[in-house]
């Protein structure tokens, strides 16, 4: 397992009428948007890179990543620093 970094990111989210948050796209600092292809699971978790909250295990461009909704913002366990 390569080393992971905590990266706060912009996320485009659909706020559903049943109060569920569904992250749709992730926006990297350079403006590139990454589609979230699939949400594999949602649970409450602490992250190994620090902090935690609601963990969305997601597929982005064919790779599995953990996206966290921490209090009032989003971060991803990133392989890039």
Binding site for other proteins (CB under 8 A): 43-52, 71
Report, in Å, the least distance between residue 25 CB and other proteins. Answer: 27
Q: How far is CA 22 from CA 4, 32, 47, 56, in A?
A: 24, 19, 19, 9
Q: Choose between 14 and 71: whose C-beta lies nearer to other proteins.
A: 71
Report, in Å, the least distance between residue 48 CB and other proteins. Answer: 7
Report, in Å, the least distance between residue 1 CB and other proteins. Answer: 15
**Residues in the chain, total:** 81
What is the distance between the alpha carbons of residues 40 and 10, in angstroms, rounded to a whole number? Answer: 20
């Amino acid at each position: 397992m390569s080393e992971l970094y905590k990266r706060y990111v912009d996320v485009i989210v659909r706020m559903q009428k049943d109060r569920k948050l569904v992250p749709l796209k992730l926006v990297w600092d350079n403006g590139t948007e990454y589609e979230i292809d699939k949400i594999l699971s949602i649970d409450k978790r602490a992250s190994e890179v620090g902090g935690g909250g609601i963990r969305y295990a997601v597929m982005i461009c064919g790779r599995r990543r953990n996206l966290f909704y921490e209090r009032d913002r989003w971060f991803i366990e990133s392989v890039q620093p």
